Chain A
């Protein structure tokens, strides 16, 4: 970050920090400072509020110091100037787009797929999207893949959230949906890269990594380290059957 940008960020951060420190103090003062809690008589110096109060005071103090420094070095002026100059074009720059695409990958992986889908499928979806979108070095493809992934995730969230009854006849409804999503993504990617040999090769590489790595992880964690996976469904069931057929 450049000096000017840094001071602008400092100005905004210092305001957030001061507000955060005030909130910490407010919450801390709600904790028992006197009287008794759970049969223990309280005095201020053994109160659970003591340490959060110290932390809150220091955050406010340091936030104020940062604010003073930011104002002195022109951070406030840069910030106001920037606020007036904000254009949609700049907000939608390639770096920001990449950042949003990464957030989409991590956010959907952790909050949407991991709690609902078999770990193999959740990881395969994440890997396929993360590798294919960023490895191609093509902004147009990155945008297309990100849009498809966002749309697919949204549809998945809607169906599993509100219409799961319609899929109740399936053995692992969420996993089947994720498998369909994976299939659509693979089909779309192959169709998009059909005309470019180098891009097609990279997409095929993405598919192989997306399938091989989760398989290795599932097998090593579940069968060698004996660590249960966050969610075990369709694929893990298949792996269990294979394992018992081969080794038991």
Chain B
């Protein structure tokens, strides 16, 4: 109780500290507006936005940088709904489910109403996510303090495997391959324990390994640029927006859907590497199944818009929980956020509450302010954002190309980072084309050093024995979960699991026949 009150006091203290400087307020609205634009413009993504903004926050203090980066993240996830509703092209994958009912609403002349609903739902979703960050992150940190190197190695391995399994559109092991390629990239450079050069090819610049931020900018920026420039230019047709209103009354009617979807969003966000798009689709599916009128979905049902928008914004909070408590990002933009935190000298993980005791309240306060910032900007600047969306995509992407270059360079002031960024980007583009997910690759690059060092440290302590995996409960659970995940992809096991999932009929054919007789007795 005392601890909760202390945290609450810290939260309000951080909130006031952030609001005290006018620069912070300007930065808050500026980054949220930029985020909305990044989310709304097809081709630009939340991850790319966070990646590019990281460069600009390099010289800011950590709390100001967090305010700006979370502003970009929250704004971009919300901003995706603009293009979903107005042009039926989701600005981000997270807003794809919103297009299902948002665009039909816009076609009925209710674009303003739909945007009002998405703004309010996203606001609620972000707040629910924030509450979970505040409540669960310190708790998980405390539990994770008991973890040993074996648990950390298995946790990193589990993170890569689960993000590969859930993020893969095609075969699950394509996701794992992507993760192992990321782990290979992380092996490059001198190893952490003995400083032995691995896969450096005699290039001194590779001794320090691959810098995370340029690799991430390459992995998320270059494929987008190639993808857009390779396509024919398609003129975008916008639906008209008259006035955007908060639609509070309407939302009160859909509050149960909003809360349920936000909870789904938080849960899915906490799974490593699984992003806002899966959260939005899952919440949309659940809302449709729970609805009394599922036939209205896809034709302009407000419940559908509420479900997907509250889920994708709540997912932000969910993705931040494992990021802060375990150092494992819950979504691709959170992976970028991790890169930014490392750049600012903050090492997320169980020691966070000890090394930086006020950091979690800082993040919570930043999320809270960004939720409000998003609400205000969303209500006031819709028409201006739509005007910006009319800038041709080719021009935007060419500018993004220059930003990727200067962004990758500015982090370490090394031209060599650019030489790495482009091949990583091309690799990511080829993998995307062949339906390999990129999130596991990125998570592999980030978690590789942690997995490598912890495995060797753990074996050093145990004298080369793997027995502690089976004697430590958390390690055993993580090991079994990873093995189960791998085995469940074997076709024979898959078919057995499918058979188990099928409901066992409660009544036999004969019993059903008897019950169906109209003149039966008893």
Contacts and interface: CB of A to CB of B under 8 A. Distances in A.
Given A27-B199, A55-B180, A114-B418, A109 B174 contact: no
A244 B181 CA distance: 49
A125 B406 CA distance: 15
A6 B170 CA distance: 9
Given A31-B198, A69-B171, A127 B184 contact: no
Interface string B163-204: 000000011011011001101100100010111101100000
Contacts of B22: none
B177 A59 contact: yes
A51 interface: yes
A172 B184 CA distance: 41
A73 to B, nearest CB: 10
A17 interface: yes
A69 B448 CA distance: 28
Nearest to B233: A137
A13 interface: yes
B455 A50 contact: yes
Interface in A7-36: 9-10, 13, 17, 24, 27-28, 31-32
Interface stretch (A128-136, A180-188, A192-200): A128-136
Interface string A25-58: 0011001100001101011111110111011001
Interface stretch (B115-123, B263-271, B390-398): B390-398
A240 interface: no
For B403, B409, B426, which residue has the most chain A Cβ atoms within 10 angstroms?
B409
A62 interface: yes
Nearest to B192: A48
Contacts of A152: none
B225 interface: yes
- Chain A binding surface SS class: helix
A161 interface: no
B401 interface: yes
Interface residues of B, number: 61
B435 A6 contact: yes
Interface in A87-108: 95, 98-99, 101-103, 105-107
B230 interface: yes
A127 B180 contact: no
Nearest to B391: A209
Interface stretch (B3-11, B241-249, B456-464): B456-464
Contacts of B171: 66, 69
B399 A209 contact: yes
B230 A213 contact: no
- Identify which of B174, B176, B406, B421 gathers the most chain A CB atoms within 10 Å of its CB: B406
Contact of A46 (B403, B451, B456): B456
6 contacts: A37-B196, A45-B464, A51-B452, A59-B181, A134-B233, A217-B402
